[in-house]
């Protein structure tokens, strides 16, 4: 996965970047299955490899730009910031519990109650669904509201389609966008 991420930095062609993002999400979904997180893998594969790629391609079609322009800024500054932040984070991970350790603190407070009592209290085999819908139902309500708001936001930003006008009245930008969008398909 790190290889795909590095390719992001060096590629110029935006179409390839969108495709790579789909590959990245799919690889992450496989990783989640190996980690026993089946619900999360399902969602990541559907959303990351499906919707994100489709939306990225639709955006590229709309803006008509296919290649990134070379940047004139030096890369040293951000690179140093990244190195320092990475070193600090790795220093912080030295205290963390080992991978897969069943005695890690994360497994001790609320999770055992959910695992043991979910069958009795909610009666649904899938513990993730029972937590999502019943024990933490409030959070899921907030999440559905966020999705609703995002759809409303896109409606407001892009929803007003320009009515058919004679060509002479269109602004210059509009022409290039639709013209290049056709060519970029």
Partner 1 sequence: MKHKAVLRVSSKLLMPPIMLFALYVQFHGDFGPGGGFQAGVIFASAFILYALLFGVNQARRVAPAGVIRTTLALGVLLYAGTGVAGLLLGGNYLNYSVLAHDQVHGQHLGILIIEFGVGMTVASAMITIFFIFAGRGRDERGE
Partner 2 sequence: MAFAGLYNYWIVVVLMMIGFYVVIAQGNLVKKIFGLNIFQVSVFVLYITMSKVDGGTAPILDDRYQVYSNPLPHVLILTAIVVGIATMALGLALVVRIREAYGTIEEEEIEQQEGELP
The listed partner (partner 2, partner 1, none) that binds 122, CB under 5 to 8 Å by sort, is partner 1
Cβ partners under 8 Å of residue 130, min gap 6? 114, 118, 122, 124
| 176 forms part of the interface with partner 1 (CB under 8 A) | no
The listed partner (partner 1, partner 2, none) that binds 60, CB under 5 to 8 Å by sort, is partner 2
Rg value, the chain, Cα: 23
Q: For residue 13, what are the β-bridge partners?
A: 67
- What x/- string results for residues 102 through 141 when contact with partner 2 is judged by CB under 8 A? x-x-xx--xx--xx--xx-----xxxx--xx---x--xx-
> Least distance from C-beta 169 to partner 2, angstroms?
16
- Please give the structure tokens belonging to residue 118: 């979910």
> Least distance from C-beta 144 to partner 1, angstroms?
5
Cβ partners under 8 Å of residue 183, min gap 6? 64
Please give the Cα distance from 22 to 138 (Å, whole number). Answer: 31
Please give the Cα distance from 1 to 7 (Å, whole number). Answer: 10
- Residue placing its CB nearer to partner 1 in the complex, 81 or 151: 151
CB 67 within 8 A of CB 14: yes
- What x/- string results for residues 9 through 28 when contact with partner 2 is judged by CB under 8 A? x----x--xx--x--xx--x
> Of 117, 137, 142, which is closest to residue 127 (Cα–Cα)?
117
- Binding residue for partner 1 (CB under 8 A) from 161, 168, 171, 172? 161
> Least distance from C-beta 2 to partner 1, angstroms?
27
> Of 48, 44, 43, which is closest to residue 19 (Cα–Cα)?
48
Question: By the criterion CB under 8 A, which residues form the site for partner 1?
Answer: 38-39, 41-43, 46-47, 50-51, 54-55, 58-59, 61-62, 121-126, 128-130, 132-134, 137-138, 140-141, 144-145, 147-148, 150-151, 154-155, 158-159, 161-165, 167, 170, 174, 177-178, 181-182
């Amino acid at each position: 996965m790190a290889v795909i991420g590095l390719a992001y930095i060096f590629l110029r062609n935006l179409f390839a970047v969108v495709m790579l993002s789909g590959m990245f999400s799919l690889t992450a979904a496989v990783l989640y299955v190996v980690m026993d997180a089946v619900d999360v893998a399902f969602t990541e594969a559907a959303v990351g490899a499906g919707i994100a790629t489709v939306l990225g391609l639709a955006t590229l079609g709309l803006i008509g730009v296919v290649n990134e322009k070379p940047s004139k800024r030096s890369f040293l500054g951000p690179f140093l910031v990244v190195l320092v932040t990475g070193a600090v984070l790795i220093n912080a991970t030295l205290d963390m519990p080992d991978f897969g350790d069943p005695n890690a603190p994360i497994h001790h407070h609320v999770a055992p109650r959910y695992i043991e009592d979910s069958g009795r209290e909610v009666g649904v085999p899938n513990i993730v669904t029972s937590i999502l819908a019943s024990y933490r139902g409030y959070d899921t309500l907030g999440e559905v509201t966020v999705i609703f708001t995002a759809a409303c936001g896109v409606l407001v930003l892009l929803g007003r389609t320009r009515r058919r006008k004679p060509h002479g009245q269109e602004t210059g930008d509009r022409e290039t966008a639709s013209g290049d969008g056709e060519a970029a398909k």
